[in-house]
Structure 1
Amino acid sequence: MYISLSDRRRREDPETSPAGGTTETGATGTPPPPVRRAGRVSSTVVALGFVSLFTDVSSEASAAVLPLYLTGALGLSVVAYGVIDGLYQGVSSMVRIAAGWASDRADRPKRVALVGYGLSALARIGLLFATGFAAITAVVVGDRIGKGIRTAPRDALIAASAEPAELGRSFGVHRMLDTVGAATGPLIAFAVLLIVPEGYRTVFVVSLAFALLGVVVLGALVPDRRPRAERATDDAPPAPFRWRLLRAPRLVRLLVAAGLLGLVTIGDGFLYLALHDRLGFAPMWFPLLFVGTNVVYLALAVPIGRLGDRIGGRRVLIGGHVVLLCAYVLASLPLVGAGAVAASIGCLVLLGVFYAATDGILAALASAFVPVEARTSGIAAAQTVVAVTRFVAATTFGLLWFALGVGPALLIAAGALAVLIPVAAILLRPRPAEGGASAWT
C-alpha cells in the first residue's frame, strides 16, 4: 500500500491529461476533486488520521482510567457507572443528525467537524475539576456531544477523498492511525499511574494537551473540501440536500440491522471490569486492557478494510459481530489460573477484531448507500442508531450485572446477540433489483 502525501486537485474528466492537460473549475468556481493513482490513499485521509490519532490519545487516556476512577477513587456504584457509560456511548446521538444536516446543507464538513473537536477539547478542562456524579455526567455529555458533531463530517471528508474501489482501504488507513492513538492513550495512562499512583488528574492534563493538538492539526492541515460543489459542472449544478434521500431502501435496512445489533453491544468498560474482577490484578495495569484491544485493531484495520473492498462490507460487518459473540462467551467463563489469563487475552484479541470489522465498515456502507449530497447525513444516521442503542445496552447491562452478577449478565447478552446476528444478515442481504458497481453498493 502506498500513501500519497500530496493531493493533486484535478478534475476527473476524460479530457484532462495527467501529463499536463488543462484543468477547469466547476460552475461554482470550486476547484475540482483530486485524481489519484490506483493504490494511493489521499493526503486528506492521512491528515484526518493524525487528527484522530491525537484526539484518541486524549479520549482513550481518560477512558482507560475512568471506570476505576469512578468506582474506586470517587466511590460510585456499578449502576452509576452504567448510566455514565451509557451516556458516553449514546449521548452523541442527540446531535449527529443535526450535524450531518448542517454539513450537507452548507457543504462544509470540515467546519462542522472543527466545532465538534473544539467542544471535546473544552470538556477535557471540565474533567480536571469534576468530582461528583452530576459534574462527571455533565463533562461526559459535553465531550460526547463534541464527538457526535465531528464524526460524520469527518467520515464524509474521508469518503469524498477516496476512490470508490478503495473506500474500505481509505477508512482502514484512517482507523489504523486512529487506533495508534487509541493504543497510545492507555499506555500513557499506565505510565502516569505507574509513576504517580492515583494520579488520575495528571492523566486528564495530558489528555487535554493532546485534544488541543488534534484541533490544531485539523485547522492547519485538512483542506476545506466541498463534496457537492466539487461534483458540479456547468451542465449539472450541485444538487441540494433532501431528507427523502435518507429513505434509500438499503440505508433503511442498514439502520435497522445496526440498531438491533447495537442493542446487545455492551461497552468495553464492562468487559474490562469483568476481566479485572476475574483476575484481580492491581489497578495500575487496568489501562493495558485497552492497549491489548487497540493493538489488534491497529494491526487489522487496513487488511479488514481491504477485505471489505473485495467481498463486501455487509459480510465483514456480520462477521465482526460473530467475533463479538465469542468475546462475550470467553469473558463469562468461570475460569481461574492460567485458563483465566488465556481466556482474558483471547477476549481482548476478539474485541479488537470486532472493532476492526465494524467501525469503519459501517461508515463506509452508509456512505455508499446514499447520494453524495446526503452522504454526511447518511453516515450520521447510522452512527446515531448505534449510539442510541448502545446507550440502552450499557444501561441495561449495568442493571443486569447488579441484579444477577457479571457471568449471567454476559451470557444473556451473548444469547441475545446470537439470535439477532442472523436477523441482521437477512436485512443486509442485497436485493436483485438494487445491484451495484462495487462491493460496497
Structure 2
Amino acid sequence: MVTAVLPLYLVAGIGLPPLAFGFLDGLYGGATAFVRLIGGQFADRRQRHKLVAGTGYALSALCRPAMLLATSVPAIGAVLVADRAGKGLRTAPRDALISLSSPADEQGRAFGVHRAMDTAGALLGPLVAFWVLTATVQQYDAVFVVSSCFAALGVLVLVMFVRDQRGKTGGSVRMTLSALRRPAFARICACAVLLGVATVSDSFVYLLLQHRLDFSARYFPLLPVGTASAFLLLAVPMGLAADKAGRWRIFLGGHVLLLGVYALLLSPVDGAVLVAAALALHGAFYAATDGVLMALAGPLLAPETRAGGLAILQTGQAAARFGCSLLFGAAWTWWGPSSAVWAAVSLLVVAGAAATLILRPREA
C-alpha cells in the first residue's frame, strides 16, 4: 500500500523535485542495505532466523504510522531509514529460512512460490490504497493508517505460524565474508552489483509512465498492480524454468526484459498499450530475477553461513540500486526524462554484456 502511493505522495503531495525524490527513493531502497549484514550475521550466529526476521517486520510496521508525522525531507528520510532498516534485518533471515527448508534442486521453485505469495500481497496493496484514496478523497494519511493495521497482522501471523530452522550455529563475520572467496559466489555477487547499477527503481518507472501519459493522480496507485500481476503469474513458472534450464540463464534473461521496459518508455507507443506492455515486462523481469538470484546463490553457501552470505549478496545489489536511483534522479533533473532513460539503456547494455561474460563460462 505504501509503495503504491509513496512516489506520488512525495512528488505531488509534498512537492519534492526529482533529484530530492531520487535521493529518498534510493535511501528507501538501498541506503540501509548494510543492516542486512547485521541481520544475516546475527541470525547465523544464534540460529534465530525467525526472531531476526520478526524483529525486522515489526520495525517496519511501526514506521507506517510514523509517516503521518513526517513532513520535511529530513523527517521523511529518517522514517524511511528506519523502515528500510527493518527490511534489511528481515530479508536475509527470511530467505535463509526458505533455502534451508528446500532441497537444493528445487530452490527455484521454492523461491518462486514465496515470491508469488509475497506478490499476491503486493497486488492487493495498491488496490486497497486506491480504494482508500477514493473513499477519503485523496487523504494519504488514511493509507498509512490502514497499512499499519495490515503490517501488525502480518507480524502476528509470523510469530504464530512460522517455524524456525535450527542447526549448527554460525561463526564470525570473517567466516561469513569468506564466502566471497568462493569463485562461483563471488561471480554472482559481482553480476548482481553490475546489473543493480543499471536497474531503475519501480517508482521511477511509474513516474515515467505518469509523465508520458499525464493521467489523473487518482490512478497512480494502480500501476504497481500491473507489475504485481505479471510477477504473480510468472514467479513459479520462472522458478521451475530456472531449476531446469539454468538459473543464471533465466536471471540474465530477466534483464533483457527490463531493457524492453526501457525501450517502451522511449518508443512512440502510447496509451493503454504502453501501460499494459511496460508493466507486463516489468513484472516478468522481477519473476525472472528476484527469487532466481537467491536460488542461484543459496546452495553455494554452507547452512551455518547462509543468511549472512545472502545478506552480502543482497547488500551489494541494494547499494548498487541506491546508486542508480541517485544517478537517475540527477539525470532526470539535469537532462530530462528521455535522456535519463537513454542513459539507463546504455548502462544496462554494458552491464548485461559484462555479466554474461562473468556467468556464462560456468554455471554456478
TM-score by length of 2: 0.96
Where structure 1 has 5 or more consecutive residues not aligned to the other structure, the ranges are 1-60, 230-237, 432-438
The residue number in structure 2 matching 1:63 is: 3
Cα contact 2:45–2:170 (8 A) shared by 1: no
AA at the equivalent of 1:251: F
1:331 and 2:262 equivalent?
no
The CA RMSD measured in Å over matched residues stands at 1.4
Does structure 1 residue 304 correspond to structure 2 residue 215? no
Tell me, in whole angstroms, the C-alpha distance in 2 between the residues paired with 1:171 and 1:185: 21
Pair 1:372–1:396, CA change in 2 (3 A):
same
Question: Which residue identity is paired with 1:424?
Answer: A
Match of 1:426 in 2: 357
Q: Counterpart in 2 of 1:265? A: 199
Counterparts of 1:340 and 1:160, CA distance in 2: 45
**8 A contact 1:279–1:341 mirrored in 2:** no
Amino acid at match of 2:113: V
List structure 1 runs of 4+ shifted beyond 4 angstroms. Answer: 238-241
- Find the aligned partners of 1:417 and 1:173 in 2 and give their Cα distance: 28
Contact 1:97 1:380 in 2 (8 A): yes
CA contact (8 A) 1:296 1:353 kept: yes
Confirm or deny that 1:385 pairs with 2:316: yes
Code of the residue aligned with 2:226 in structure 1: it is: G
**3-state SS of paired residue (1:93):** coil
CA distance in 2, matches of 1:429, 1:96: 28
User: Partner amino acid for 1:222?
Assistant: V
Match of 1:223 in 2: 163
Partner of 1:145: 85
Query: Post-superposition shift, 1:165?
Result: 1.8
CA distance in 1: counterparts of 2:153 and 2:20, whole angstroms: 32
Give the alignment partner of residue 347 of structure 1, picking from 275, 278, 281: 278
Residues 97 and 164 in structure 2, CA contact (< 8 A), matched pair in contact too = no
- Mapped to 2, the partners of 1:301 and 1:204 lie a distance apart of 28
TM-aligned CA deviation for residue 298 of structure 1: 0.3
Whether 1:363 and 2:294 are equivalent positions in the alignment is yes
Contact conserved, 2:252 with 2:356, CA < 8 A, in 1? yes
Q: Secondary structure at the match of 2:199?
A: coil
> Which has the bigger relative contact order, CA under 8 A and spacing at least 6?
2
Structure 1 equivalent of residue 48 of structure 2 = 108
In 2, are the aligned partners of 1:156 and 1:375 still within 8 Å (CA)?
Answer: yes
Counterpart residue number, 1:292 = 226
What is the CA distance between 1:344 and its match in structure 2? 2.4
- What is the CA–CA distance in structure 2 between the aligned matches of 1:362 and 1:205, rounded to whole Å? 34
The residue number in structure 2 matching 1:72 is 12
Q: Whole-Å Cα distance in 2 between the matches of residues 259 and 245 of structure 1?
A: 16
Name the structure 2 match of 1:26: none
Relative to its length, the structure with more helix (as a share) is 2
Residue 345 of structure 2 corresponds to 414
**Number of residues of Structure 1 aligned to a counterpart in Structure 2:** 361
Q: How far did residue 74 of structure 1 move? A: 1.0
- Give the equivalent residue in structure 2 for 1:47: none
Query: Is the counterpart of residue 400 in structure 1 residue 331 in structure 2?
Result: yes
Identity %: 47
Contact residue 278 and residue 340 of structure 1 kept, 8 A:
no
Shift of 1:240: 4.3
Secondary structure of 1:286 counterpart: helix
Q: Is the 8 A contact 1:308 1:316 kept in 2?
A: yes
In structure 1, the partner of 2:27 is 87
Counterpart CA distance in 1 for 2:112 and 2:28 is 24
User: Given residue 333 of structure 1, which amino acid in structure 2 is its aligned partner?
Assistant: S
